[in-house]
Amino acid sequence: MTGFRIDGGTLIDRNDVRRFSFNGEALSGFGGDTVASALLANGRQLVGRSFKYHRPRGILTAGAAEPNALLTIGRDGRRDPNTRATMAELFDGLEARSQNCWPNVNFDIGAANGLLGPLLGAGFYYKTFMWPAAFWEKVYEPLIRKAAGLGRASYDPDPGYYEKCWAHCDLLVIGAGAAGLAAALTAGRAGARVIIADEGAQLGGGLLAEGSPIGGKPADAVLADIVGELHALPNVEIKKRTTVFAAYDDQVFAAVERVQKHLPEGAINPHLAMERLWRIVARQVVLATGAEERPIVFGGNDRPGVMMAGAMRTYLNAYGVAPGKRVALFANNNQAYQTAMDLEARGVEVAAIIDPRTCPNIRYDGKARMIAGAMVRDTAGRKAIKSITVRHDDGRDEVIAVDALAVSGGYSPIVHLACHRGGKPAWSDEHVGFMPPENTDGMTPCGAVAGKIGIVDCFAAGGAAAVKALAELGVMGDAATLPGVAQGDATVDHVQPVWSVSSTKGKAFVDFQNDVAASDITLAMREGYDHVELAKRYTTNGMATDQGKTSNVNAIGILAENKGVSPGEIGTTTFRPFYTPVSFGALVGASKGMEFQPIRKSPLHGWAERHGARFVETGLWYRSSWFPKDGETFWRDSVDREVNTVRTKVGICDVSTLGKIEIFGADAAEFLNRVYCNAFLKLPIGKARYGIMLREDGFVYDDGTTSCLGENHYFMTTTTALAAGVLTHLEFCAQVLWPELDVRLASATDQWAQMAIAGPKSRDVLAKIIDEDLSNEAFPFLAAREVSMFGGRLKGRLFRISFSGELAYEIAVPAGYGDSVADAIMTAGEEFGIVPYGTEALGVMRIEKGHVTHAEINGTVTPADLGMGKMVSAKKDDFIGRVMNLREGLVDPNRPTLVGIKPKSASDKFATGSHILKPGDPVSLANDQGYVTSMCHSPTLGHAIGLALVKNGPSRHGEEVVIWNGLAGTTVTGILCDPAFVDPENEKLHA
Amino acid sequence: MRDYPLNNRCAFPHPDASGAGASINLAPVKDGFVFHVLGDAKSDEAALRQALAKVAPELGDDVRKSSPGQWFWVGSIAVSDVRLAEIQAALTDTFALVDQTHGRLRMVLSGPSSRTVLAKGTMVDLSTDLFAIGQSAMSQIGHIGAMITRVEDDSFELIVLRSFAGSLWDELQHMAAEFLTG
Amino acid sequence: MSSLVKCPHCGLRPKEEFTVRGEVATPRPDAGAEEAVWFDHVYLRDNPRGEHREYWHHSGGCRRWLVLSRNTLTHETSEVVDASTLKTGGAA
């Protein structure tokens, strides 16, 4: 037996029996237990196998730093691998499994790795598996992956809800031990907005494990008083189960709150987050994160039953769990003696206290035998410790039978959050640890993280830290008076550093989780990797999920000792977020599945749905892409029919997603003249003009139409893709480049439902609902103005523009009426055979007409490349892109220029992205003539057509070329031609 | 001419309030107007209020600043095309007026939990002493841009682009679910 | 990188509300300026260790272009102003 439940335990409720399973075995614990305390109470010390050597490992700590006891908890979508048993709260029905062992934790085949030890030393990844090279992928890596690795993630979706929240406070207190509680109470009483966060299920930190009275009052009663008062303060927000895991710029702290992870499945509220990711904006911070007890590096220090002295005390006092029946303590400091005293007080035999200090400056009143000036050099026992070997100061060895060993090698302040923004901790010989950096803006470390010892001193430090932080905020406050405060001088310990036991026999581990032994670190040094950052990466010390919380300082100490320098000269590795692992669920928050990103819906979405539209995602928009009719099973059946109907009759298409920008101001015309490469100054009221916008580097940015709707009032449309980009660009021009111009911009995309009505019958359809004369004379091509509709019942904006090449209009109506107007147009168009058409048909028709989109405007083309060089104004003094557009390289006649392309044989097909070669040239990009930018099947022509950018294209119409699909390895003979396959004379457009 | 039916369609997935009686309530604002006011470089809010009082006193002066020289002017009365044209003409060149009644929709999130729900979306600190009644902020709720205005003690009006209204409504429902069922 | 930016118009906002364009380039040259001046304006950017001025667009807020002066080493932001003040010299 290595562990058992005894009386007491301030955290557990013995009336609340909770059943759980460990590796399939039914066990039970109590409410308030962690999985670790429940396992110990059931005598289960062996909980897992180590990463590299598969050595038996037990529970080392009682908190966040746990390197060994990583379990997989839960099943299916709620399975959490690599959960620290020391942090997981026990609930009824919990299922826990060991990791990294096969077939089971007691008999693990991988333990044979222990025999391969010499091969797996420092840098083994770089040395052992190098040759032959081909073996890496096929043999070594799969083997390593199978043997190593920790828990496995579930493939099932997590059914839980996760979310993110912002929080704001005057003072953030991180850690609710004695110092943090005193700080929160002080600031809370002063009226400040306080958030106090602690990773534990209960506030209290070290107070929860305190067995002795404070100021004559039981520790749990003192704690209850403080927590009660904090709860009563409306300006104090208490966040339990909340780990502040990162400190970011501008005093933003990230924290994860485990809201429901401690509940059995049946008790989970599906509407409440499982975990909540907090971003806390704090004006001031009190850092009260405490200190981490360090292990001592000696032979067999990883055997189950070896435990941190402070953790043993926590299990004893907070959970009523004794670690064994006969325990020894190996410690180099005074604080750890408290564990021995508490063990004896609770009736557990302490066989010996082994203290490396020759004259420990402490009086021990217990029964335990004191062995000064001695070290533990080895342990024995197969799956749990049975004895220790003590090397006395006279060189004599003594074997002492024990079933648990408490270890304490000193205390490392938990400085992470003080260092995330680049601060370096400073070594202190006095405290034998790295202290938080000074000058951490807005952050005051206090309590054990600042080297304070004992509850009473920490109370005082917390109060003082809060007073200091409040003063920064301009708030007066008095340090909260708490029991036992004001005892005179600060408590001091006398820690004697023991970085590794020189008489060690067997493997002495520094990093338990990554199986890094002291010998690995000295080997790394011998091989030249003695810089702390290099040693870390070469040995993997501190690189596991625990990030070296129990190992980093010992590794630094070993490096320092071997180099004969102070640990301060070695320095630490870099502290980066996160302090402890954070689940992907919390990081993702609500953004998953259909909520991955917002959906933008056109005002005609419902109308399109009623007509059976298939939708395509375009950015965030859902656009109707085609409208299958009964009997159409293949998308092209629908698209071909839609195209044919528009070309011969009439169709209606939702173009509401095009960007729309209202432009006002006395200088609006001048502004447009500067942002478009073609002339806009003289655009008359009631007219639309096609415009090309360049980037300042001379390439085309976007195209669209802009209409003049009134004096100093213009209406610009952009492509759907660049709606936001164009507005941002115009804002840059208006605000940064020419703030002296009076130009005002407003996005109006969402105000209008806009429909294209295209086809030879489009005028006839619209004449039925628009109250005005639509004849070619009264409303010619590129007319644009407000019109009265439905006998004066509605006003809309009508534009005679065409993307399809047909006689066409775009009508915009206030979005709420879009649905009704689209229905009215369908009704009015019924006699003409109107159909709805989608973006696919739109795409086919624009290729047939030789119109470009962003398939051609791909960031590498000039207006001349698109056959629109003549549009670029030679008269205007200045416009965006004017100078760079004239660069030598951009006016080269040999540049790839827009052409049409079709297969020589009508039955041949080709693909977008195919390259163009001259017939007879070897198939190679070295002979590249250009590439296909767009292609489709043209129902109008009955064969495939495409647009391409080809060197000196316009002079090569009629030339036979090879269309090479390098991916498929196929070639087709094609013919270059005019890009306007349909109506090159624009007769339909002007009909 | 045939009598085609014309309906102004609501863009919210559920046109009615949800959560009534719970600690959180979400309701669309269906009537009224949203005008985007674009001032010239010299214009300020006092001048705008003055101009509105003169030109359209019946519509109130609930103006919410979105940017330097830009405001959303909102009200609960329906404004006809004719009246809007009159107001636009009367404001002359100092203030251009763009009708956004259909493009920017309003909804009200109210109840004791409203602040907690909004903190799941926006970084803006909405605590009572920092965000007074009548105060507005152009911000983002999650990934969706919205203007947040505190209209009462525990009541916030949100103005959102029409195309995002359905998504924002659904997201707020998720964020508020813990209070709807409580 | 700054987590929060103090927009001169909106107050403290998270970086997610902003879009960064990059270094504040040389002022846009006159139309007749030499090609080299244009190349500098369009292409040449510094990548300093230390003080850096950048264009940030408050795309999720007031939609104003701002000039943010920050230290690339310490991440400290010393000043945020409306970008129109680069040219007008006054307030936005």
Are B67 and C63 within 8 A, CB to CB? yes
Complex ipTM tops 0.95:
yes
Mean pLDDT for the stretch of residues A450-466:
95
Are B100 and A664 within 8 A, CB to CB? no
* Range name among A51-60, A138-147, A668-677, A795-804 with the lowest pLDDT average: A138-147
Q: Looking at the domain assignment, is residue B14 inside a domain?
A: no
Query: Tokens for A57?
Result: 């490992």
- Are residues A69 and A36 in contact, defined by beta-carbon separation less than 8 angstroms? yes
Give per-residue pLDDT as tens, A796-832.
999 999 999 999 999 999 999 999 999 999 999 999 9
Give per-residue pLDDT as tens, A79-120.
999 999 999 999 999 999 998 766 666 766 666 666 666 566
Distance from CA of A709 to the nearest CA of C (A): 25
Of A166, A271, A598, Cβ closest to residue B167 = A598
Q: Flag whether pLDDT at A284 surpasses 60.
A: yes
Contacts of A887 in chain C (CB under 8 A): 35
Are A823 and B5 within 8 A, CB to CB? yes
Q: Looking at the domain assignment, is residue B42 inside a domain?
A: yes
* Range name among A811-825, A958-972, B3-17 with the lowest pLDDT average: B3-17
Neighbours of A965 (CB within 10 A): 17
What is the amino acid identity at position B46? A
- Are residues A620 and A597 in contact, defined by beta-carbon separation less than 8 angstroms? yes
Report the distance separating Cα A934 and Cα A555, nearest Å: 61
Judged by a CB distance cut-off of 8 A, whether residue B115 touches chain A is: no
Judged by a CB distance cut-off of 8 A, whether residue B68 touches chain C is: yes
Residues B172 and B109 in one domain: yes
Are A744 and B96 within 8 A, CB to CB? yes
What pLDDT does C92 receive? 45
What pLDDT does C88 receive? 79
The chain C residues in contact with chain B (CB within 8 A) are 4, 9-14, 16-17, 60-64, 82, 92
Going from the N-terminus, what domains does chain A have, and what CATH number goes with each? 1-155 (3.10.20.440), 162-291+413-472 (3.50.50.60), 295-409 (3.50.50.60), 507-570 (1.10.10.1100), 600-657+751-846 (3.30.1360.120), 659-750 (3.30.70.1400), 894-991 (2.40.30.110)
Give per-residue pLDDT as tens, B66-120.
999 999 999 999 999 999 999 999 997 799 999 999 999 999 999 999 999 999 9
Are A735 and C4 within 8 A, CB to CB? no
As a three-state string, the secondary structure of chain C is: CCCEEEECCCEEEEHHHCEEEEECCCCCCCCCCCHHHHHHHHHCCCCCCCEEEEEEECCCCCCCEEEEEEECCCCCEEEEEECCHHHHCCCC
Distance from CA of A696 to the nearest CA of C (A): 7
**Selection from A37, A761, A114, A2 nearest residue A402 by Cα:** A2
Q: Looking at the domain assignment, is residue B141 inside a domain?
A: yes
Residues B95 and B115 in one domain: no
- Are residues A544 and A67 in contact, defined by beta-carbon separation less than 8 angstroms? yes
CA A336 to chain centre: 40
Give per-residue pLDDT as tens, A422-431.
999 999 999 9
Contacts of C75 in chain A (CB under 8 A): 249, 421
What is the amino acid identity at position A257? E
Contacts of C10 in chain B (CB under 8 A): 137-139
Model confidence band, residue A535 (pLDDT cutoffs 50, 70, 90): very high
Q: Flag whether pLDDT at A128 surpasses 80.
A: no
CATH number where C41 lies: 3.30.2270.10
Residues B64 and B125 in one domain: no
Q: Which of B99, B122, B140 is the last residue of a domain?
A: B99
Residues B93 and B150 in one domain: no
Distance from CA of B12 to the nearest CA of C (A): 22
Q: What is the mean pLDDT of chain A?
A: 94
Are C65 and A735 within 8 A, CB to CB? yes
CA A510 to chain centre: 31
* Range name among A459-468, A492-501, C54-63 with the lowest pLDDT average: A492-501
Distance from CA of C62 to the nearest CA of B (A): 5
What pLDDT does A136 receive? 62
Contacts of A727 in chain C (CB under 8 A): 63
What pLDDT does A139 receive? 65
What is the amino acid identity at position A411? Y
Q: Looking at the domain assignment, is residue B7 inside a domain?
A: no
Give per-residue pLDDT as tens, A347-361.
999 999 999 999 888
Overall number of domains in chain B: 2
Q: Which range marks the domain in which residue B159 is found?
A: 25-30+103-180
Residues B40 and B86 in one domain: yes
What pLDDT does A217 receive? 92
What pLDDT does A760 receive? 98
Q: How far is CA A526 from CA A122, A551, A563, A835, in A?
A: 11, 20, 11, 80
What is the reported pTM?
0.94
Mean pLDDT for the stretch of residues A556-574:
96
Are A696 and C3 within 8 A, CB to CB? no
Q: Looking at the domain assignment, is residue B12 inside a domain?
A: no
**Selection from A616, A518, A598, A596 nearest residue A561 by Cα:** A518
- Whether the bond into A578 is cis, omega within 30 of 0: yes
Contacts of B101 in chain A (CB under 8 A): 751, 814
Judged by a CB distance cut-off of 8 A, whether residue B127 touches chain A is: yes
Judged by a CB distance cut-off of 8 A, whether residue B137 touches chain C is: yes
Q: Flag whether pLDDT at B144 surpasses 70.
A: yes
Q: Flag whether pLDDT at A146 surpasses 60.
A: no
Of C2, C65, C92, Cβ closest to residue A249 = C2
Judged by a CB distance cut-off of 8 A, whether residue B78 touches chain A is: no
The chain C residues in contact with chain A (CB within 8 A) are 1-4, 12, 14, 19, 21, 28-31, 33, 35, 38, 41-43, 55, 57, 59, 63-65, 74-75, 77, 82-84, 86-88, 92
Mean pLDDT for the stretch of residues A202-218:
92
Q: Looking at the domain assignment, is residue B176 inside a domain?
A: yes
Q: Flag whether pLDDT at A235 surpasses 60.
A: yes
Strand partners, A261: none
Nearest chain B residue to C58, by CA? B139
Judged by a CB distance cut-off of 8 A, whether residue B29 touches chain C is: no
CB contacts < 8 A, A to B, total 158
Contacts of B1 in chain A (CB under 8 A): 768-769, 790-791
Are B162 and A815 within 8 A, CB to CB? yes
* Range name among A4-8, A541-545, B14-18 with the lowest pLDDT average: B14-18
Instruction: Return the sign of the alpha-carbon dihedral for residues B121, B127, B130, B131.
Output: positive
Nearest chain C residue to A282, by CA? C4
Q: Which of B99, B116, B135 is the last residue of a domain?
A: B99
Q: Which of B99, B122, B150 is the last residue of a domain?
A: B99
Residues B176 and B127 in one domain: yes
Mean pLDDT for the stretch of residues C59-82:
95
Of C12, C13, C64, Cβ closest to residue B68 = C64
Tokens 């579930």 label which residue?
Answer: A154
- Are residues A722 and A701 in contact, defined by beta-carbon separation less than 8 angstroms? yes
Are B66 and C13 within 8 A, CB to CB? no
What chains are in contact with B, requiring at least 3 Cβ pairs below 8 Å?
A, C
CATH number where B175 lies: 3.30.1360.120
Overall number of domains in chain C: 1
Report the first-to-last Cα separation within chain B, whole angstroms: 55
CATH number where B49 lies: 3.30.70
Mean pLDDT for the stretch of residues A550-578:
96
Q: Looking at the domain assignment, is residue B70 inside a domain?
A: yes
Report the percent of chain A where pLDDT is more than 70.
94
What pLDDT does B3 receive? 84
Q: Looking at the domain assignment, is residue B19 inside a domain?
A: no
Q: Which range marks the domain in which residue C70 is found?
A: 4-88
Q: Flag whether pLDDT at B15 surpasses 80.
A: no
What pLDDT does A713 receive? 96
Q: Which of B101, B140, B162 to mutate to test the interface with A (most CBs of A within 10 A)?
A: B162
CB contacts < 8 A, A to C, total 71
Of B66, B67, B139, Cβ closest to residue C17 = B139
β-strand A752-758 against A808-814: which pairing, if any? antiparallel
Neighbours of A515 (CB within 10 A): 28
Cβ burial of A126 (10 Å; 0-12, 13-18, 19+) is exposed
- Are residues A932 and A914 in contact, defined by beta-carbon separation less than 8 angstroms? yes
Distance from CA of B129 to the nearest CA of C (A): 15
